[in-house]
Structures are given as structure tokens and as C-alpha cells.
Amino acid sequence: MKIAMIGTGYVGLVSGVCFSDFGHHVVCVDQDQTKIDKLQAGQVPIFEPGLDVLMAKNVEAGRLSFTRDLASALEGADAIFIAVGTPTRRGDGHADLTYVFAAAEEIAKTAKDYAVIVTKSTVPVGTNRKVHEVVKAANPDLDFDVASNPEFLREGAAIEDFMKPDRVVVGVETERAAKVMEDIYRPLYLRDFPILTTDLESAEMIKYAANAFLATKITFINEIAALCEKTGADIKKVSKGVGLDGRIGNKFLHAGPGYGGSCFPKDTKALARIGQDVASPMAITETVIRVNEEVKHRLVEKLRDVCGNSFKDKTVAVLGVTFKPNTDDMRDAPSLTLVPAMVGGGAKVRLVDPQGYREGQDLLPGCDWLDDPYEAAKGADLVVILTEWNEFRALDLSRLAGVMSAPKMADFRNVYDPSDAKAAGFEAYVSVGRSDYGV
């Protein structure tokens, strides 16, 4: 099969590379010449473990290439994937579909032969039918079908998710389109991974419903964590006890500073807007959005308390600023709320993150960036664990406390046991949903 992938952002690049590893010939298209130049030079513009090696392998095999020339990419293509950004639109919370419709129009004006136009971007219900209208209006004579193929990739584990998916969802209207999509995903069919074929609207809704449900689990356990702090229960034990129920499961039941990233924030907002537009309010989702913001501000107050009710003239070492480990993604990361609150309150903040500097240096001004957590903690009044990178899971707590001016820890991922922190010399320790001391 020959595939054209429009957009070389996170979803487009990962999908294009993985499709080429299936054995398909993939041409990735992007209007950004600088990005194309880097990709052609073998440079990966995002951090995703293993992506650089897989990309190089398939470029060398002649199955993967990058270009700005849409016409050459579409020539002979069996499927044309739209994988452009759908950010939250300012002012109303809707997904901004400007780039999706622009790509559809360009495809219509450029394509000459039959192809399935596949929306890989996350889009509201009804978008694929609008894509059909846009293409038809721009080129009434073009022979084409549309399909919806939402992605379910976790940043930091995207290649594994693509190659060994829980399921692949394909929304189509015709048998012809279904056959093309079946051929594209044949390597997964042959290995018995679930392929769910639906109508367009159901495929679109599955993506939003799945992300909203996962965001709800995160927010629910954070509310329970706040209750645990008031009642003396331990959220780690509660989460384990709840997660052992097979109907619930243990994933996404880890208390912390709230969800962030490229999907949950914008998708929950978009789902809430869809519900409002059709007079079917998503009351649970709307509450999840509100509570997730409240969680971050609640943790700001915990930081203020452990600093003696003021950040002024305090030195704070923050370990981890990306929204999760194994990614460089800073979108809606909790650090974007917590760090500015400390800086604005007069604290001197030092940041350590294995991948966060590239985006974080502009998003978190007024901070110092260091590579070593012990160096960052030297002379500090507080160390904050905000992202649970492996580098921060096995720190020498005695060494860490020993270099600090006032050894206090805010462990917002519950990485360590409070008794271990106390034994290591930390005079105060706060976490999420557990008993604190020294505050």
C-alpha cells in the first residue's frame, strides 16, 4: 500500500513511521520546511523512545520519506491520512478544525485518483461528514471515500501502542473504504488484534468517550485523595484496594497533580462543548475539567504551607516539569501552574527534567535549569517531585537532605514512603492523599 500522511506532529510522525514498518510505502507531508529538512537529515523533532531508530530503519529501507510536495505524495496513494493539530479554540472550548478542513481542501485540489481520506486527528462527532463536504465542494469530480481512524497512543509508549494495540477503530461508509483500511492494518489482523469497524460518528465518539473516561478516573482518585488527607486514610492503599476490582482496574488510579498533555485537556473540553451544542450536557465531564484545575491549585497551597505560608526568598528544586515521564510534552503540564505560582511568590526555582528544557525554557521563565537533582537541591529549602521520571524514583534521600538548607520534600507523585523520608533527615514531607508531617 502507498500512504500519504499529512502532518508530521506527534500523531502523524509516529503513525507514518509505524505504517512504514508494517511494510507500506509512506510519504509524510508538512508545510514547515525546517521540520522537513530536519526529518530528511534523520533528526526527530519530538522525543519518543525508539522513534529515531525505527525511523532511520525505514528510511534506509526506502519505505519512508518526507516532503513539502503534496502532489508527489498523493500520486498513487491508496490512503491519505490527515494528522494535523486540533487545538482547543480560544474562547469557546471547541476543537479548532481549521487545519483539518484546510488539509481536506488541499487534498481535493491536488488528488487525481481514488483514495480513502482518513482523519487521524481527534475531531468532534460529525467532522468526517464535513470533510466529505469540503472535498466534494472543492473537487466535485474526485472519486474518494472518507474514513475515521482515531489514534490511542500514549506518549512515551506510542510505538508499543501502535504495534500492539488494545484495539484499532475504523469508521467507514462503504465496503470499498473498509477494504482499503483492512489492507492497511492487515499485519494487525493477522496477529488477531481487535479491529472494530463502525460508522463515522461512532468512531469519532469512541475517541472522546475513552479519553473522558480516563480523565474521570484520574480526577476521581484525586478527589478521594483529598478526602483521605482529611480522614487519615492512605490513598495508595485505597487505590490498590479499589483497583483490584476487575470491573474497575488499577490503571489511572494514581493520585497526583492532575492530568495534562496533548489529549485529555482539549478532548474533555471539546466533549463538553459538543454536549452543550446538542443540548445533552456532559455534567460529569464538565465537573472533571473543573476539579482537575482545582487539584493543581490545592497543591499550590500545600507548597505554600510547607514553605511557612510564603514563597518569598525560598529556594525550591523542582524535579520533573513535563506532564508525564518519557516525553518532552509540556502541554497543560501541572508544572505550568505550580512553578509560576512559586516564582510569582518570590521563590528562586531550579528545574531538573531529562527532556523538558526544550519547551520549558520559554514556558517557565525566571527559573534556573540544572541536570543533576542533587546540584539543584544544594542549599534549597524545598524539593518538589512533580514528574515521576525513573531518574527520580531511586534518589539517595539522605544525600538529598544533606545538601539542602532546610530539608523538606513535596512528593506529588507519592514516589517515596514518608517514613523513609523522615529517616533520611527530611524535617517535613507532604504528598497527595497520605499523612504529612512537619507542616
Pair 179, 211 in one domain:
no
Q: How far apart are CA 210 and CA 201, in angstroms?
A: 14
Q: Which of 198, 233, 250 is the last residue of a domain?
A: 198
The set of residues, in sequence order, having a beta carbon less than 8 Å from that of 78 and lying 6+ positions away, is 1, 2, 3, 115, 116, 180, 183, 184
Binding residues for NAD(+) are: 30, 35, 86, 122, 155, 266, 331
Q: Crossing angle for the helix pair 51-60 and 10-21, nearest 10 degrees?
A: 50
Residue 259: give the domain boundaries: 201-439
User: Do 268 and 386 fall into the same domain?
Assistant: yes
- Do 190 and 226 share a domain, yes or no? no
Nearest Cα residue to 14 out of 50, 51, 40 = 51
Instruction: Express each pLDDT in 86-128 by its tens digit.
Output: 998 877 788 899 999 999 999 999 999 999 999 999 999 999 9
pLDDT in tens, 356-391: 999 999 999 999 999 999 999 999 999 999 999 999
Number of domains in the chain: 2
Q: What are the pLDDT digits (tens) for 198-230?
A: 999 999 999 999 999 999 999 999 999 999 999
Domain at 34, CATH number: 3.40.50.720
Active site residues: 263
Residues 150 and 244 in one domain: no
Nearest one of 78, 66, 152, 69 to 117, comparing CA atoms: 78
Q: Do 268 and 169 share a structural domain? A: no
Q: Which residues are documented as binding site? A: 30, 35, 86, 122, 152-155, 207, 252-256, 260, 266, 324, 331
Q: Kindly state whether residues 10 and 33 are assigned to the same domain.
A: yes
Predicted TM-score (pTM) above 0.75: yes
Indicate whether 225 and 189 sit together in one domain: no
Contact 46, 328 (CB under 8 A): yes
Share of the chain above pLDDT 90, in %: 97
